[in-house]
Structure 1
């Protein structure tokens, strides 16, 4: 199916007559967004104080994104979405025994997701009573004893311990230890749904599961390329760094199907002069709306341009010394790229050759280049090759492993990267068995466990009997939502450690518990006094966080205390597993982390509150390649599309799912997608007006979407409203998690099993 209308590449001009935000990102709009959530949930001086101390040494580390916390912070070192996340957790509304006495689970299932969380903070542990379809209060000791009895009675491999990116390193380490002491490694994590493509494949290409950059690199780069990352919504504090880079002459090029305002222009909300009389800072010099899955084609085209420049001036373009000394596979990759035809590159990318050559000129003119990416690259069937080609382009000119250059995924959740660092993961390599034997006398399982997709495939097959969730809302976050939600009640046990009510709590297992925990900003008082927790940012820096807010209830326990309580009730007695002592003093847990991972966490407690965090290091940054060959690996392109299944037929399109400006993961703060010019309804389908006309649709018409993947399961969503929008031909967009039922559980990235939320084939039905 050929749709040839190319997108514009003017970085500032918008389509007239279609929705868009006609102001820069940041500015007064951000301040209004913060003010609105402040008015909705919290209006006191304590909230002001916590926001003022947010992301500063010995303050609270934001529970939103994983962007860096600088050593010299701004007066207000938080963004609109960070403020929303913190204030949402500081909510003054309460959900306790009285609330559940008034509402059955059946009734709560009819509530929108936003309203469930907006009911307020959970205040006491609850147990589901199927006889009256309500949650009822239960004591902590009674809950731990009952949960422990069920876990002890089952084969350990029938249990799954999930973790969102909320919990600190201390709770995460104990959780990973608990699972392995119990006898399993079923430790799926929120990374499985977003950046696991990075963790698995980047390690194969350059020997590290994380990005190679640090914040310092942005002071020395000459060009930054963005693929599939929406900074304005997902990590707005990054915009300050980009503004500074642009001001000193750095050139920024963006490839993304949507024209996101944060990467077009920005007004600094902390700069009164720019807010009132100044001009917005233009962020992207060039902005290209490639088709979903077109990243491989674009990168192949840019590589062809680099090779052509080398042919014209031999020895002056490629970094031959780097290629010969530090890499393998270049000859095969060069041959495959040279063989790629421009007609195919244009067809798959949706861009013209001239556009790709224009972008390549920026790359060729820059000495130091940083490659940024987000889930637009990772959530594809061929996401592995997206990353391989990105590494290829950077390595051609030695742009990995030196100051001002590197590859840099921007992680979405505050501690999602850190949890993996301290052992949460399904593989034995994630937590060294010899250390567990030495420290605790534990024989860890040798068999790898299950990641998120594997765990829910097992749930659908009846092979999972217990699901413990340390944060998160898996019913909403996972693909194939309707099938998964229907399977939850067959669990013998479901336990959710949470701050607020969400949809997953409304699909209780045969025994079901909600265990309410402290939020990141809440003061965590234990036997040894106020405790600090810690987390890791997207640049591998570790920070301490000290909560200061009055907890919403005296009955809450910390995530660390809850994990320890569950472990103590489940595992056989072992004098070397000091769950009570670790709960009383988190410094003892940090000492264990340092003993278990000495290369990353030496002198952990001494460095906990170091301004700007302490760097745990990255071998690829030092050009030490922990790959099988001992070198960085060039990857030949075996296809030019990241899609697993291209659209076929007149009514098939590629679906990409989006998060709004009023959202963090599955949490919906409100119904404003301000930065896209969209308000209100989330049950919408965005589509280019030319495609609307081709399909015989009009603005506001109701359509159904059905999944075009043929696997014997019918997936369909009705009553979606058509909205004209500036998108490439051949694709549509809609909101996550509302459209998750259309994505098959088995439709995922080849190596990591990351769901293909950014490239699912669907059929549009009037």
Structure 2
């Protein structure tokens, strides 16, 4: 039996005393209170280190404490003094460790030594670095490069990412899936088609110039808390903030700046002026409703001889497809839009009126949009809304996809991509004297399919927790053991490390906060934030593990052991001085990284040039394009007994890293195995708070996916919608259930059926369960956490 969650109402705003208490708790828990408080003062500061968690922009004039609650947790988690040594692995088999929770695994501390899996004892054993490199290189050279995956998490620096993609392409593979494939690949697919760039157009200064902000599908409270500072400043000067989200997230309701004593006393600021709880997946339909109102208001203005509502000059000069899109919006029926969005006509008109009254509008969106089956179309719909009034390419306006990992956007910038059209292969060939492979590689979903088919034989992971982050867990974990080679470069122990392949290595690397001492001295690295600004970062703390190497050093060691010597690539020289890697990046991307080394510590970062910011559209037709949605806005198909499940993150986690089992803002403590449910749906299904249920995916593909012993929590969520935690619910997501066009797993809208669990006493007593009950799970026993 799983531990029951304690559920209590939490009324406090985001930030404030709750945030301060959480920071103190994590620093104390990891025994880094004194050291941590000193290091935190250097977090996200020029000359200091960039946060290892979210990628939100870093201001040129930072606050005294330029970190958020989650940033402090991430820092404490990395600089803890505990280490995982060979002695630890000598005491535990991997079979035993698979019974541990995600939190228990990472809580053991930093990985201290390179390790190799010994199948005979089912344990990791210590190995010398030179031996590990030699053996891994030999294994890679036995494999077809087409069958080898080189995965990257979103935390690796620009320098490490550039070296990694070059190593892989010189080896002969283009299989470079990364964490972007699981989150914002939808953005990278949608935006180039309509505005000609794969990233957002908004910079931090635009939040000071805007007079209206829209939000779609983002939990700013936990996924980008430092963003609450510019939002609060905007709200305090009267900027309307209109939010669309199935759940009411606290940071988009109220925020107290912990650095402001007066706010701590007074209670903070209301953030959203309108908060619309769309049904799960209802964002595109809501935008159709707003656009319909704008276009029909413009039609009326023209009929009356009044000033136009849309920006007719901008549309005529810069866009294509307006007439078709406008005709589509006019033709839509309000009743269908209401049913598809879950909102009333009046609510959408209210939002449209705010939009039409504003001169400069920013539209932000997160994974509530990108991780949906129709995410690509929905992102394009957000662009449609902005184009109507010329809200791209002017101060205070633009599109703002909010990325997660601290350098997930930057990795794509320097070549981590499975799509060869996005990589300057000819330039790499010219610089380094080799012929790179020209075939498109495998995305995350493609890689998983290849593993299931036995076609993928090798997997090298630069950070991350791939096994835990992906869908289809019940099939993927058994298939993982079929890999010939698994190489995991990491700072901490996680689930991907305890599911071995035939030959498995665990290689400990330095964290970003640690001083990286090489032949030329202490090194700096760089990363790109979600506003396409580049920042330098310097480690501040002595490395906790003597035998851990930097990511560039590990990549160079693997490359030298695998590749034939190439006089044009000085791997050792690059490791000795990372500025030489930055020179190489500048030579490869001269338009994006001009004077890279000179500019990398500019306050606020230096922006990469983006044509759309200047209203230059690098699309095939040279225009910004309106598009007509084909399916994203359609009313849902009613299916008796089927719910839409969305996965979510808690304030006590960052992606798959679980700092605590609690979720303060939702009032859930002590367990993450819960499902949030509308009270009216609970009543209709004969459920009460605290009952446990099993969720079963509605797929009809012959694979049964289920998750049992989920505690029901009544919550303010739209009818027929459910919410459960990521990554615990990943096993309910079919591998084929992804965003059309981008293959991002559609974790925000999973069709499931719900069954009440049979109480153990009924099973033991031989009594028959009621017809609405079910006691089944495809979980393996290692998913059940200890009650201790």
Report the TM-score when normalising by structure 2. 0.94
Cα distance in 1 between the residues matched to 2:429 and 2:642: 54
Q: Would you say 1:281 and 2:272 are equivalent positions?
A: no
Deviation string 1:190-211 (CA, Å, 9 cap, x unpaired) is 0100000001111111111000
Tell whether the 8 Å contact from 1:703 to 1:718 is kept in structure 2 after alignment: yes
Deviation string 1:41-75 (CA, Å, 9 cap, x unpaired) is 13354322211000001101000100111111000
2:144 counterpart (141, 155, 164): 155
- Aligned equivalent of 2:363: 371
**How much does 1:548 deviate?**
1.2
Cα distance in 2 between the residues matched to 1:483 and 1:204: 35
- Aligned equivalent of 2:769: none
Tell whether the 8 Å contact from 1:386 to 1:642 is kept in structure 2 after alignment: no
- Aligned equivalent of 1:11: none
**How much does 1:20 deviate?**
4.3
Cα distance in 2 between the residues matched to 1:443 and 1:676: 53
**How much does 1:647 deviate?**
5.4
Q: Would you say 1:292 and 2:284 are equivalent positions?
A: no
**How much does 1:584 deviate?**
0.6
Cα distance in 1 between the residues matched to 2:165 and 2:38: 34
Cα distance in 2 between the residues matched to 1:60 and 1:490: 39
- Aligned equivalent of 2:529: 537
SS at match of 2:192: helix
Report the TM-score when normalising by structure 1. 0.96
Matches within 5 A, 1:295-334: 295-314=283-302, 315-334=307-326
Deviation string 1:579-616 (CA, Å, 9 cap, x unpaired) is 11111100000000000011110100000111110011
Cα distance in 1 between the residues matched to 2:634 and 2:541: 46
- Aligned equivalent of 1:87: 76
Matches within 5 A, 1:652-663: 652-663=642-653
**How much does 1:312 deviate?**
2.1
Note the residue ranges of structure 1 that are not aligned, 5 or more in a row: 1-16
2:60 counterpart (61, 71, 75): 71
Cα distance in 2 between the residues matched to 1:68 and 1:619: 20
Change (3 A) 1:641 1:706: farther
After superposing on structure 2, the runs of 4+ consecutive aligned residues of structure 1 that deviate more than 4 Å are 17-20
Tell whether the 8 Å contact from 2:24 to 2:33 is kept in structure 1 after alignment: no
Moved more, 18-27 or 354-363: 18-27
Note the residue ranges of structure 2 that are not aligned, 5 or more in a row: 1-5, 757-788
Tell whether the 8 Å contact from 1:62 to 1:86 is kept in structure 2 after alignment: yes
Q: Would you say 1:461 and 2:453 are equivalent positions?
A: yes
1:520 counterpart (512, 531, 538): 512
Cα distance in 2 between the residues matched to 1:476 and 1:548: 30
1:48 counterpart (21, 26, 37): 37
Q: Would you say 1:648 and 2:648 are equivalent positions?
A: no
**How much does 1:488 deviate?**
0.8
Tell whether the 8 Å contact from 1:212 to 1:407 is kept in structure 2 after alignment: yes
**How much does 1:493 deviate?**
0.3
SS at match of 2:481: helix
For these two proteins, the number of residue pairs brought into alignment is 747
**How much does 1:646 deviate?**
4.5
Tell whether the 8 Å contact from 2:70 to 2:222 is kept in structure 1 after alignment: yes
Cα distance in 2 between the residues matched to 1:131 and 1:621: 59
2:421 counterpart (420, 429, 436): 429
Q: Would you say 1:696 and 2:671 are equivalent positions?
A: no
Deviation string 1:430-473 (CA, Å, 9 cap, x unpaired) is 32111111110021111110110001111100110000010010
Tell whether the 8 Å contact from 1:345 to 1:640 is kept in structure 2 after alignment: no
Cα distance in 1 between the residues matched to 2:110 and 2:484: 27
2:567 counterpart (571, 575, 581): 575
**How much does 1:641 deviate?**
3.5
- Aligned equivalent of 2:24: 35
**How much does 1:681 deviate?**
1.3
Matches within 5 A, 1:379-418: 379-418=371-410
- Aligned equivalent of 1:164: 153
Deviation string 1:150-208 (CA, Å, 9 cap, x unpaired) is 10111111100000011100000000111111111000000100000001111111111
Deviation string 1:630-659 (CA, Å, 9 cap, x unpaired) is 11110112235479x84511x210000000
Q: Would you say 1:353 and 2:345 are equivalent positions?
A: yes
- Aligned equivalent of 2:494: 502
Matches within 5 A, 1:87-236: 87-236=76-225
SS at match of 2:225: coil
**How much does 1:714 deviate?**
1.2
**How much does 1:550 deviate?**
1.1
Compute the RMSD of aligned alpha carbons.
Answer: 1.2
SS at match of 1:116: helix
SS at match of 1:756: coil
Tell whether the 8 Å contact from 2:213 to 2:239 is kept in structure 1 after alignment: yes
Cα distance in 1 between the residues matched to 2:369 and 2:10: 25
SS at match of 2:534: strand
SS at match of 1:237: helix
Cα distance in 1 between the residues matched to 2:620 and 2:375: 21
1:60 counterpart (49, 59, 68): 49
Cα distance in 1 between the residues matched to 2:617 and 2:146: 34
Tell whether the 8 Å contact from 1:21 to 1:674 is kept in structure 2 after alignment: yes
**How much does 1:553 deviate?**
1.5
Deviation string 1:551-593 (CA, Å, 9 cap, x unpaired) is 1121010011111111111111111111111111000000000
Tell whether the 8 Å contact from 2:211 to 2:240 is kept in structure 1 after alignment: yes
Moved more, 47-56 or 590-599: 47-56
Tell whether the 8 Å contact from 1:422 to 1:430 is kept in structure 2 after alignment: no
**How much does 1:91 deviate?**
1.2
Tell whether the 8 Å contact from 1:230 to 1:262 is kept in structure 2 after alignment: yes
Tell whether the 8 Å contact from 1:383 to 1:642 is kept in structure 2 after alignment: no
Cα distance in 1 between the residues matched to 2:423 and 2:274: 43
Tell whether the 8 Å contact from 2:177 to 2:442 is kept in structure 1 after alignment: yes
Cα distance in 1 between the residues matched to 2:500 and 2:427: 37
Tell whether the 8 Å contact from 1:295 to 1:642 is kept in structure 2 after alignment: no
SS at match of 1:215: coil
SS at match of 2:74: helix
Cα distance in 2 between the residues matched to 1:19 and 1:463: 49
Q: Would you say 1:719 and 2:706 are equivalent positions?
A: no
Cα distance in 1 between the residues matched to 2:630 and 2:476: 34
Tell whether the 8 Å contact from 1:337 to 1:637 is kept in structure 2 after alignment: no
Cα distance in 2 between the residues matched to 1:205 and 1:642: 21
- Aligned equivalent of 2:722: 732
Cα distance in 2 between the residues matched to 1:357 and 1:411: 29
**How much does 1:18 deviate?**
8.9
Deviation string 1:74-103 (CA, Å, 9 cap, x unpaired) is 001000000101110111111010100111
SS at match of 1:582: helix
